[in-house]
Every structure is written in C-alpha cells, then in structure tokens.
Chains A and B, each alone.
Chain A
Amino acid sequence: MLPKAKNEWTVEEAAHLVRRAGFGGSPDQIARIHAMGREAAVDSLLDPDEPQDAIPLPSWYNPARLAEEQRERLEEMRESRTEGRSMTAAERERAQRMARQEAQRTARQRLMTASAWWFDRMMRTRAPLREKMVLFLHDHFATSSQKVRQPALMMRQNELLREYALGDFRKLTHEIVRDPAMMLYLDTQTSKKGKPNENFAREVMELFTLGEGNYTEKDIKEAARAFTGYTVNRFNGKVSHVKFQWDSGSKTVLGKTGKFDGDQVVDILFEQQAAAEYLPSKLWMFFVEDEPPKAVVEELAEGFRASGFQLKPLLREIFLSRAFYDSTVIRNQIKSPIQFLVQMCKELEVPDLPGGYEQLAQRELGQVLFVPPNVAGWDWGRAWINTNTLLSRYNIAGVITQGAVDAPGTEGGGENMMDQMAEGGGPGMKVVARLVGRNMRDWKGPDYEKLAPRELRKDPEKLVGSLIARFFQSDPGDKQRGAFVDYAKSKQGVVFTNHEVAELCHLMMSTPRYQLC
C-alpha cells in the first residue's frame, strides 16, 4: 500500500479530488465534498448512488427498435433487388447511391446524438469518477466511429465500458476482445486460419495489457493464430466464433504452449507481471502525474494483482495516497479538451452548451469523443497544447462566458466563427455550424447575477477573489490577481453589467494558468 494521506484535508485538496477524479465543480459542490472528509469523499466517488441506467439513452438506441429497423432494412433490400431487375444499370446505381447516402446521414446524426449524450452525461452525472473512467477506458481501448461507422455499436461499447468502469479489468478485456465495434475497428472479423491478421494481437499486447517491449514478434504471430475465427455480423453486431476458421493448432505465447483460443491468450497475458504494472502505471499518469515513479507502480501492481485486477481498490489506493495530494501534483496537470470544456461549464454553472457546440469545440481542441486519432488513443499532457489549441481554448472560453460573442470578426452572432471552426470538419460539420449559430442565439449562458452578485461588484478585490476561487480554486499569484483586479476596476464605472463580468471571466480563462487542473 502507498503511504496514506490523513483524513483531515483542505478545501483546496477537496477541489483537487473533484477536478481529477471527476470534471470539477461549482464552489458549492466542492464545499459539500470537503465537508465529508477525505475517506468518505473518495468512497462516495467509488460507490456512486446513481445507477448506470439513471440517465436515459439516446432515443434511437433501443434494442427492440434497432432490431425492427434491421428487419425493415432487409425487407427494403429484398424489394430493391426485385425492383432492380426492371431498372437500367444507371438507375440501379443511382438508387443504391441514394440509399447509401440516406444510411450515412442517419448514421451521422445518430453519432452526434450519442456524442452529445455522453458529453451531457459528464456534465450532469452524480457519478463523475465512473464517467471519467469511461473516458480513460475509451482512450485505453480506443475505437473510432470513423472506421466502425455504426453508432449503435459505438454506444454499445460505451455502455460496456461504463459497466466495468469501476469493476473487473480482466473481465473487461475479455469482453473487449469480442466487442463488435473493436472487432470492426481492428479488422478482427476477417482473421482466418492460415491467414491471421496480426493487427489485433499486436494491439492487445502493446496497448491493452502489457505495453511495448514485454513480448516478442513471435508472440504476436502465435497469438494472432489464436484470435482467428471470430466473426461479427456487420448487420446486427452479433459476434460468433466460427470453429472451422479458427486455427486450432498448437501455439506458444509468452512461454506457454497449447491449442489456445483468444480467451486463453488473454488469460496468459494477465499472468505476466507487465499486466499488473501496465494499467496502474497508465492510471497514475491519467489521474496524478506524467511520469509514475517506479516504486509507486510496483506498490499499485501488487494490490492490483492481489485483488484479481479490480479497478475499485486500485482507484481507492490512488485517491487516498499522500502522493496524490502532493503540492507538485496539485494544479500541475494540463486539462484535456473534454476536461477543459466540462469543467468550465461546471464552474460557470451552465447546465448545457448551445446544441452542437461541444462537437465543434472538441474538434478545435483536438479531442472528439468517439473519434480518437488512432488505436493508441490521444496523446495527453503537453501534447494537448500548442499555439493553435491554446488560442482556441481562449476563444471558446470567450464564447461560453459570452465575453466575446460580439467581438469584431464574429459578427452575426458568431456564425462566421462557427463556419470557420467547421471548415475541414468533414461532411456534416457545416450543418452543425449553422445549427449551433441558431442555438447560440437562444442559449442563456451563465447567470452572472448569481455568479457575481451586484453587491460584490462594488468591491473589485472581493469580486476577483470570489471568481478566482471559482475558476482556479487556488491562488494564481499576486501578478495575475493584480491584473484581474485592475481590469475589474477599469470596468467599474457607472455600470458594471453582466457583460463586463463576462469579459472579466473570459480574461481569467485566457491565461496559461487556467489550462491546469
């Protein structure tokens, strides 16, 4: 066990837990967590009182309805085949193209609602650690809808990750091996006896369980043979193991020999010491710091193995460790784009974003839910930040705080900016941009009467102090504080309207410091 932190703690430490083990919160939410004491606060995150089905799934994601749809589509295909006989080749091709386009349009819309649903869930959930773990697992078992192209399967995987987010990691890995979205993503379904596809076996070892350097090319080739014969029905996502396409011969993987199938290979992987260390080390990087100390990883690995690869005790050990609350750890993590967006909304106490805007913003900042860049997931930490994404963060903060909605260059309610953000976003993004432009006008934005009561505006020092507590939850230093106060004073004239407060909030967020959590 790692050395534990004592139960007494500061509000700043509570805010740190709320940010890292979730997506941050309002000052009230942080105060509530702080009042619980450290142990109870961590337990409340690990045992959320919100069941997995508490938040209704997107309306189209309904197994009965999807099955009905499949039947209809089969029927349509049969009909069109009959009709097709009386058509010319050109007519037939045109009909097929239209059907394809229609299907693509539906898929695109569904994926957007799936993505909006998950983002909304992160904002609303009373089980923030579970959602943060789903995000971690989505990165760990990265699967992109760009290749899978079936929103229902992406949603199904998302629900699977949620089911195991605080559960049994070994079991989850077994499930992922036969998860239809993952299989389509890594082309497992075409891996057959005699012609095994090595890709899947490689990623299972390199990215899912052991990490690079803990296996040989030979292990991959042999394991690839074990993973043959799994097929997925593209139409309904049904997975089966086809015996005659499976290589039933003897294989040697990591020193063990037998007529293994995929499940048995996964079990062998979990017998390796590397499997006990790999995930704890990644979790430490995700929740704590960029470079996990060797001793920490060894400690965590011991507990992880002893518990049979259970995530909950592992997370408990992390969030109760003294190291997690070290002063070098607090406020020294660069927010991921999702963290940046959700945390900002929580700090501004806005319940939602203008419909579709979260998608444009994700694209701009380099992290689109359901579309990780490749099977290794996103690069985290400093890789989120470059001159481009930093300016984009500042400008998105301008839109969400409403500190810059009518800035020069964004005439027309910011639609121009939306169009430019959508530029290069592929099919559908222009449509989203127009939609966002409309939604933006109806969106209420933050309630500055509540965030910065009129009374408070009379005293710039106090106003700034209150907003700093809200957005930074720690002291940003005299120079920064002084600049904010000076700005507030410069705005404190005859009127100090909500717009001036919005500008001040925007300025606070347009700083390097605000990018840290």
Chain B
Amino acid sequence: MKTRREFLRSTMLGASSVWTVPLFVERTFADLHAGAKDLATQAVTGKDDTILVVLQLAGGNDGLNTVVPFEDDAYHKARPQIGKKGKDLIRLADGIGLNNSMPTLGRMFKEGDLAVVQGVGYPNPNRSHFVSTSVWETADPQARSNTGWIGRYFDNACPGSDPTVGISLNKTQPESFGAMRNPGVCLSSPELYRWIHGGGEKAQAEQFFESLNSPDAAVDGASIAEPSVGKVGGVAGESNLAFLERVAMDARVSSKKILEIASKHRSKVQYDGTPIARSLNMVSRMIAGRMPTRVYYVSHGGFDTHNRQANSHDRLLGQLDGALKSFFADLKAQGNADRVTVMTFSEFGRRVGQNASQGTDHGQASCLFVAGAPVKGGIYGEHPSLTDLDRGDLKFNVDFRSVYATVLEDWLRTKSQPVLKADYSKLGFMG
C-alpha cells in the first residue's frame, strides 16, 4: 500500500531533478519534510484518532416536526393538519418530543448519547436550497468562499496527509470538502474504485497507466498560496488539466488501499437496504479497516417537503434512524464506538405554518443532532419562539458555526479560528 506521502517521496524525489515539478507537488513535498520533523503531522491522520461523520439531510429538514414543541398552542394553530400530537412523540423534555419514527435516537437521548441542538441558523438567511447549502458547507453566510469548512480543516490541520483523510460516500464531491490542496476522495462502490484493464500483461499496462496519470512536467503548477477558485476548491490559476492530474493521482493512490479494506471487512450487524444505511455500512467498514480518515461525509436526501409532507417526512426520519441504529451497533461490535461522532445538518428549516398543499415552505432556523458514545447528551440552545417570528420563520439562537467550532475544537482537537475565520462560542456537547 502506497500512500500519497510514500508515492511522492519515492516517485517525485527521484524525478524532481529531471522534471520541473509542478508547484503544488513541490509544496506538498516541502510539507512532508516539515511533517517528518514534527510528528504532529502524523498524529492527525493517526489510525486511532477521533472520527467525525457528517450527515447531510438534503432539502431542508422540517425541524419543527422532528423535535416538536407539542404543548405549544401556536404550533398546532400553525399546523392544523400536519402537526404532531404529544401521544405520537418520544418525550425528550418538558413540552418537547422527538418524532416517533426515531426510536433509536430516542433511546440514545435517554442514555446520554444524543445532543439535540435547537434553533440553529445564521444571520440574514437565504431560502434558496443552493445558496443556503453553500452557506453551511463553506461556513460563510455570504456563500462567497471557494473552500469548504472541512476542506479548510484538511488544509490547516492535516498538512501532507493522505488523500483519504476525508471520504465522501457520494459520486460527487460535497462543497464542504472544497480545499486548496487536499479535498479528500469520493467513492460510491469500493469494488469499482480502481482502474480495470484487460489483457494478460496487467502489470505492464498499469505501469503505463501510472505514468500517464502522474503530474505532467509540461503543466504549469499554481502556487498553493493563491486563493482557490470554483465551487469545489482547487488552486487559482490552475488549469483544468492540472486539476485533473491532481485528482488522477489521488484516485490512483487511494484506490489500492480502499479496495483492500473493503474486501477484508464485513459487518456482522444487519443494515437496511436504504441508500443511507448502505453508506453508513461502508463507513463502518472503512473504520474497521483502520483507514486514516478523519471525516466521512454521507447524504440523505428528500427533505424538500412542499407537498403532503407528513408521511414522507416520517419515512425519511425512520430511514435515518434505522441506518444509525445499525451503524452504532456495528461500531460497538468493532470496539470503535468511542472514536466516532455523527453530526447532522440541513440547509434550513421549514416555515412555521403549513402551506395549502399540506407541506411546508423554506424557512430558517432548525434543529440538528450530534450523536455517539463520546457525546454529552442533552438539549442545547433554546427552542425558538413560535410567536416571535421573522416573517413567518423561526429566529435562530445558535449560530451554526458554534456547532462547527465545538466539533473542531473538542472532537477533532484543532483550533477552529483558522477554519472558521473567527471565534465562536462552543456549546459543550463534546464531553
């Protein structure tokens, strides 16, 4: 198994006297040397370190029907058809109940392994899915940043690390992974995550393949000190070709390792057949295989419930709950439960009032979950008032960057300031 680090050391060092090494490789290489002197670099990608799973609820989860203020008259008045009654909920605290499609999360709450953060949002909210998703993923309320918050964590706290420092179980790269240097990798099916070539002379073909998929001497590298461009990060001034070559190298280097781990580790726990369950199953196999990954990213879609929301929303929450049930049981069986924290997020909550189609429109503040054995369970933040509204929407009382700051500092153990570009008060749900 060759890591990118080893690859660079063996291949690029040998070649650098002959080729003009593209700058990005050179800089990474310089980082490696610095890293070798300072063992902290190795520590961040250590195989026993803490792991964050970011779980996106795409489409704008209706927080009010997820964590329900069931004793509030204003709630039932605003939602005569789709409102939840107290008897249909799992009681969390006075007047607050969890949607009963989520028995696992209910149990975790009782056991102190689930933090419910209420009233999360950001100033001057945008109700566009795309802009608001960008806000959350870039941690920039102007949505102008070209890098994502997780990508900046990789850039700042994990220099010289392997591309598998972040793995997104998506076919496409999430904006939050946008990085100047190392955006992590994406994969959907580990068995296909490799170059498949025909013919008898496989080793020979692969040699050519490797040479063709190494950074090319003729390409202008750009300085990593430049700001990045585009929705998925990358280096300013870098041509599309240079970008492709970088991805090609990461793919090649990470593919062998991932393939090996995926074929070795199977789960003993049963998972549902839903996409979210399959994704979490993959994450657990990677963790079992001791990948040096610090952040996994999975997505659960369908929360844009404009129309007849009740059944579909409950079903989506139920799928989430079922997937998490298997995932946490699996981690426990592996002995990795203490290393993993799951954080959910969604781009916005829904309007307080239901619309004419028995659905809900795009709103502002919502709740999110932080779950896992390392979490200090409980309710954080205030349930926002249902009468003191901002144009029909809940007002937020927890800035989402406070949640990120807590996770970064108290779980990933890094300074949050360079990642979030400002200081945010922490919430205390991480131990």
Contact = CB atoms under 8 A, between A and B. Distances in A.
Contact of B128 (A206, A417, A511): A206
B284 interface: no
A370 B344 CA distance: 29
Most buried by B among A366, A387, A487: A387
Contacts of B186: 386-389
A107 to B, nearest CB: 18
B216 to A, nearest CB: 6
A490 B199 CA distance: 13
Nearest to B187: A388
B245 interface: yes
Contacts of A374: 129-130, 304
A7 interface: no
A507 B172 CA distance: 24
Contacts of B217: 479
A175 interface: no
A423 B196 CA distance: 18
Nearest to B304: A374
Interface stretch (B24-32, B40-48, B83-91, B353-361): B353-361
A424 interface: yes
B198 A379 contact: no
Contact of B213 (A383, A424, A477, A512): A512
B356 A195 contact: yes
B250 A197 contact: no
A343 interface: no
Most buried by A among B194, B205, B391: B205
B306 A187 contact: yes
Interface in B350-378: 355-357, 359, 361-362
Contact of A379 (B170, B172, B391): B172
Given A387-B251, A389-B172, A197 B361 contact: yes
A395 B196 contact: yes
Interface string A403-423: 111111110000001001101
Nearest to B212: A511
Contact of B173 (A365, A386, A407): A386
Most buried by B among A376, A385, A406, A510: A385
Interface string B189-205: 10111111111011011
A195 B355 contact: yes
Contact of A420 (B128, B189, B244): B189
Nearest to A389: B171
Q: Is the interface of A mostly helix, strand, loop or mixed?
A: helix
Contacts, number: 204
A276 to B, nearest CB: 22
A191 B127 CA distance: 18
Contacts of B202: 408
Interface string B135-176: 000000000000000000000000000010000101111000
A14 to B, nearest CB: 22
Given A387-B250, A395-B192, A424 B355 contact: no
B196 A503 contact: no
A159 B189 CA distance: 35
A197 B232 contact: no
B185 interface: yes
B131 A212 contact: yes
A510 B209 contact: yes
B361 A199 contact: yes
Interface in A182-199: 187, 190-192, 194-195, 197-199
Contact of B359 (A187, A217, A404, A516): A187
A197 B356 contact: yes
B192 A424 contact: no
Contacts of A513: 241, 244
A503 B205 contact: yes
Nearest to B351: A198
A364 B361 contact: no
A381 B171 contact: no
A508 to B, nearest CB: 9
Contact of A479 (B216, B240, B251): B216
Contacts of A379: 172, 231-232
A479 B217 CA distance: 8
Given A387-B185, A421-B189, A512-B213, A490 B204 contact: yes
B225 interface: no
Contacts of B194: 391
Contacts of B275: 424
Contacts of A516: 240-241, 244
B58 to A, nearest CB: 8
Nearest to A416: B191
A290 B306 contact: no
B35 to A, nearest CB: 22
A483 interface: yes
A162 interface: no
Contact of A409 (B128, B196, B361): B196
B255 interface: yes
Given A190-B356, A385-B244, A477-B216, A392 B239 contact: no
A202 interface: yes
A382 B130 contact: no
Interface string B300-329: 000010110000000000000000000000
B254 interface: yes
A332 B240 contact: yes
Interface string A360-386: 000011100000001110010111111
Nearest to A406: B198
A281 interface: no
B7 interface: no
A198 B1 CA distance: 53
Contacts of A333: 240
Contacts of A390: 244, 247-248, 251
B212 A386 contact: no
B191 A191 contact: no
Contacts of A459: none
Most buried by B among A190, A290, A334, A516: A190
Contacts of B218: 477-479
B16 interface: no
B121 interface: no
Interface string A20-35: 0000000000000000
Contact of B230 (A206, A365, A381, A477): A381
Nearest to A392: B192
B131 A383 contact: no
B188 interface: yes
A495 B258 CA distance: 37
A407 B198 contact: yes
A398 interface: yes
18 contacts: A187-B359, A190-B356, A197-B306, A198-B362, A332-B241, A374-B304, A385-B243, A387-B187, A388-B187, A389-B172, A391-B255, A404-B196, A423-B278, A483-B211, A507-B197, A510-B212, A512-B244, A515-B244
Given A382-B243, A388-B170, A403-B197, 8 more contacts: A195-B355, A199-B306, A202-B127, A332-B239, A391-B251, A404-B196, A487-B208, A503-B205
